[in-house]
Amino acid sequence: MKKRIITGMLIAGAALCVAARDLVILHTNDTHSLILPDGDGKGGVLQRKAIIDSVKSANKDVLLIDAGDKVQGTLYFKFFKGDVEYPLQNMLGVDISILGNHEFDNGLEALAEKERMLKSDRLSANYDFSGTPADGLFKPYAIKNIAGKKIGFIGINIDPESIISQANYEGMGFKNVIDTANETAAFLKDKKKCDLIVAVTHIGYTKGNDKTTDPELARASKDIDIIIGGHSHTLIDPKDPDKYPSIVDNAEERPVLIVQTGKSGKYIGQIRVDLDKLKTLTPADYEYSLIEVTDRFPENKLDPNIKKFLQPFTDSLENVTRDVIGEAAHDFRNDSRTGAFPNWTADFGSWYGNLVLDSLRQNNPNIPHLDFSIMNVGGIRNPIPKGAVNTGHILSTFPFSNHFVIMRISGKDIIETMKVAASKGGEAVSSEMKVVCDSDRNVEHVLLNLKEIDPEQTYTVATIDYVAWGNDDMRSMANGEWIYSSENELCEPIIRYVKELSRLGLPMMADPNPRFVYK
């Protein structure tokens, strides 16, 4: 959209020209602690800051919005628990922020402590923190007055059930996404007389479970103009509107603009709105684009204050990244729900589960043998490139404070779990397991060593506590009985596994063949 010029009256022989007033909204989501550019030179907080500064220098009215999950995914959060990401939000100049599910990873008390650092408006209309450590920290909406226009922002968060570990949000209330968003939007429009209403959400664009998505919210809304989303890591590219449409009609057949920038801060979204024509323009007329974040900037364009702030944190991580513990025979990619990396992770679970049970059996010969392992694909946060593998690779790839669990569970509950996993496109299961599905992702066979799982039989399964509690939508796993839980975080036995492979002269290798078979 080019700058619009309005020609006015001639005064003293000169034409008076008034430039149209644009609001530029920059937005990010799911940056997940990617502080430095990745191996391909994409992302990085210094690079994002250079883009933000450039846009601000060229435009008068700029707002920076973050749609949650600013933490979790690299060593910076694993070791420093938010002491890097939260100050950086202030240094980037974030104006409005909401919570992602990973802001809860260290519990409500830690969340409240870190969120207090932020200078931005902290929004959540549908989480009730009354009586919790986060009481009073969040408000349902914010109104920004820009060029005589009132821009209303609403914070909308995901239903935490089966997504966030229950202990990490104990005491927090949840209100329905669609009802809350519509009520708040109507209030902003009718009572507060807002000219533009933006819902900042962390509920996801794509449908992976029974929870509300951004397109569903858009279709059920009446007063929301723009949805700035997160959670599903969806790159909504205006150049490819058929893949993930950015325009969805609302309940009254008016367009709603939906935007999201993928993950890891590799793109910044930019929405440009002509404030002078808000009454005649619709969201379909707004200019929406993606700005790729790369390492193209010269040194003098990188913020010296951020560089100085980051240096001690980066220096302290060097020992971890120098500690080589093994070798990867091939690239381990984390962009698929089935295949090499999920298989390797689940096969590790079988190895370690058998090791644990063999040890327990020395004191109790009645301890059962392991049948298989199921791990969650969502717990694999980073790829591991071919070549030397260091401790840092494992810690950043498996960053969560999960613990290894062995449980007894019925075949019926295993089948129900596999149905959920199949509906998502697969899960990390060990080599003993095969799940055969039709083209619509309906499960036809659940096979253990090529024999059908017996719904009436009880099986011994290795997993992690997050899954054993029934999270990641695998609710039936919560019906099992735990017989072992490790005190150490999952990353520790995985490091032990890689070291044991190295001792035996074996690299990390994985079976690439999917264990969820779709016909």
Q: Per CATH, the architecture of 324-518 is what?
A: Alpha-Beta Complex (3.90)
How confident is the model over 387-417, as pLDDT tens digits? Answer: 999 999 999 999 999 999 999 999 999 999 9
Distance CA 308, CA 314 (A): 10
Distance CA 103, CA 202 (A): 11
Q: 15 falls in which pLDDT band (50, 70, 90)? A: very low
Phi/psi at 501 (nearest 5 deg)? -60, -45
Distant-in-sequence, close-in-space partners of 387: CB < 8 Å, separation ≥ 6: 327, 328
**Whole-structure pTM value:** 0.90
Strands (E), 203-333: 226-228, 247-249, 255-259, 267-274, 287-292, 324-328
Q: Residues of 135-149 as b/e, b for ≥16 C-beta within 10 angstroms?
A: eebbebbbebebeeb
Q: Check: CB of residue 418 under 8 Å from CB of residue 472.
A: no
Q: Which two tokens stand for residue 27?
A: 């937005």
Half-sphere exposure of 430 (CA within 13 A, CB side): 21
CATH class (in words) of the domain with range 22-314: alpha beta
pLDDT at 420 exceeding the cut of 60: yes
Return the DSSP state at 261: B
pLDDT at 5 exceeding the cut of 50: no
Q: Which two tokens stand for residue 400?
A: 């969560």
Distance CA 32, CA 251 (A): 34
Q: 20 falls in which pLDDT band (50, 70, 90)? A: low
Distance CA 88, CA 258 (A): 26
> What are the structural domain ranges in the chain?
22-314, 324-518
Q: Percentages helix, strand, coil for the chain, rounded to the nearest 5?
A: 30, 30, 40
At residue 10, the pLDDT reads 32
How confident is the model over 236-284, as pLDDT tens digits? Answer: 999 999 999 999 999 999 999 999 999 999 999 999 999 999 989 899 9
How confident is the model over 325-363, as pLDDT tens digits? Answer: 999 999 999 989 999 999 999 999 999 999 999 999 999
Q: Which two tokens stand for residue 20?
A: 């149209």
pLDDT at 18 exceeding the cut of 50: no
How confident is the model over 184-239, as pLDDT tens digits? Answer: 999 999 999 999 999 999 999 999 888 999 999 999 999 999 999 999 999 999 99
Q: Which two tokens stand for residue 241?
A: 């509107």
